[in-house]
Chains A and B, each alone.
Chain A
Amino acid sequence: MHEFSVTSQIVQSVLGEAEKRKAKKVTAVYLVIGKLTFLGLEQVRFAYEVLTKDTIMEGSKLFIKKQEGLVKCSHCGYEGGFKYEDDALYHVLVPTLKCPKCGNLVSITAGKECTIKSIKMMI
């Protein structure tokens, strides 16, 4: 939903880092995007291409690692993926805040991030 503004922030951050190091060119950017964010990767890539044009990032490779949504149960200690409710009525898998092991309430520990992991640049 907010790919353009978020990608614009990404590009600004990368350009800032590149400038600090007096880089001539940025060759690659590595992102981690959580599956619980509402960021469409297609749209991020499209915005990236548009926003990097005529900058030292133009033509750089964008690598995006998807981070699964993870939860933790304080009751039984479970750490891992969501419990999905298989709703036969609606034919969908609905993610829930229930522990897959014991059914108690879990908290979300990963999947909401949008992180620049690293940047490759030519100095």
Chain B
Amino acid sequence: MAKLKKEVVRAEEGEIFDVELSENLLKANQRLAEENKRFLHENGVRAIDVMGSIGSGKTSLIEKLVQFLKSRYRIAVFKGDLTTTIDAELIARHGVESIAINTGKECHLDANLVKKALKKLDLKSIDLLFIENVGNLICPAEFALGSDKRVVVVSVTEGPYMVVKHPFIFMETDVVAVNKVDLAKAMDVNVKQLEKDVKAINPKAIIVATNCRTGEGVGDVAKALGF
């Protein structure tokens, strides 16, 4: 007779209780993001989440978009950074309301921080809100904020592999600004290849080549965002 395997299921002391939960922990942020979106819409405000690496040109893009759109829209900007109000002040020069959200050590904005910042804003006095995320191509992909559209800024100075190395953030975006195109040649980066990489990952993304120092392409970014 074959020997029984020595695997015996034993009841532990006391009663074992099996609790079914199915609680999705990442959904909590999603719920808050939807609340933010509803709240913004009730007040007639459209929001744009601007993501991208450190130094890719997120703030420059927002500055140029503000200049381009401020005659037609009343604009406010949330500026996410670990610390300092440097960028928030850069944006405020253009005469729009600019609020710094300092995350301390967190590498992304989340829906709760945006909710808190929204309390500081008179939503009746604006129709367009830019939310600049913390410079990072990884974490912001996972945390919706309640924006209507998302744009990723990727610059040629980050090298040729930024897109394929971070596919998930490009899946989550509506518009991609390929920035600093004036430096493409010096960097030996093929802008067309970057565009091809984005298109392969996310066929619905609209891609615009920009130079946010001169404002080249910024009008097309505005158009791609529906303005």
What residues make up the interface of A, taking CB atoms closer than 8 Å to B? 1-2, 6, 9-10, 13, 17, 21, 23-24, 27, 36-38, 85, 87, 90, 92, 94-98, 105, 108, 112-123
B171 near A24 (CB under 8 angstroms)?
A: no
The answer to whether B203 touches A98 (Cβ under 8 A) is yes
Whether the Cβ atoms of A120 and B204 lie closer than 8 Å is no
- Once the chains are docked, how many angstroms separate the CA of A105 from the CA of B25? 28
Q: Does B206 contact A (CB under 8 A)?
A: no
Give CA–CA (A95, B171) in the complex, Å: 9
Contacts of B13 in A (CB 8 A): 122
Which residues of B have CB within 8 Å of A23? Answer: 17
A6-B197 Cα distance, complex, nearest whole Å: 31
> Is chain B's interface secondary structure helix, strand, loop, or mixed overall?
mixed
Partner of A114, one of B14, B17, B26, B203: B26
Q: How far is the CB of B193 from chain A (nearest CB, A)?
A: 8
**Stretch of B77-85, B125-133, B161-169 contacting A (4+ beta carbons < 8 Å):** B161-169
Smallest beta-carbon distance A31→chain B, Å: 9
Chain A residues near B197 (CB-CB < 8 A): 94
A2 proximity list for chain B (CB < 8 A): 139, 142
Against A, the Cβ 8 Å flags (1 = close, 0 = not) of B179-213 are: 00000000000000000010011111000000000
Which residues of B sit under 8 angstroms from A97, Cβ to Cβ?
171, 201-204
* 30 contacting pairs across A/B (C-beta < 8 A): A1-B139, A6-B25, A9-B25, A10-B25, A27-B12, A36-B168, A37-B142, A38-B142, A38-B168, A87-B164, A92-B164, A94-B197, A94-B200, A95-B167, A95-B171, A96-B202, A97-B201, A97-B202, A97-B204, A98-B200, A98-B203, A114-B25, A115-B22, A115-B25, A116-B22, A116-B25, A118-B21, A119-B18, A121-B17, A122-B12
Taking a contact as CB atoms under 8 Å apart, the answer to whether A116 and B167 are in contact is no
Bound Cα distance from A119 to B22, whole angstroms: 10
Interface centre among B13, B168, B197 (most CB of A within 10 A): B168
B138 within 8 A of A: yes
Which residues from B are CB-within-8-Å of A116?
21-23, 25
Mark interface residues in B17-38 (1 if CB within 8 Å of A CB, else 0).
1111111111010000000000
Q: Are B17 and A122 in contact, with the CB atoms below 8 A?
A: yes
Are B23 and A13 in touch, CB under 8 angstroms? yes
Interface presence of B107 (CB below 8 A): yes
| Complex: A121 Cα to B21 Cα, angstroms | 13
Q: CA–CA, A114 to B19, complex, Å?
A: 17
**B142 contacts across to A, CB distance below 8 A:** 1-2, 37-38, 112
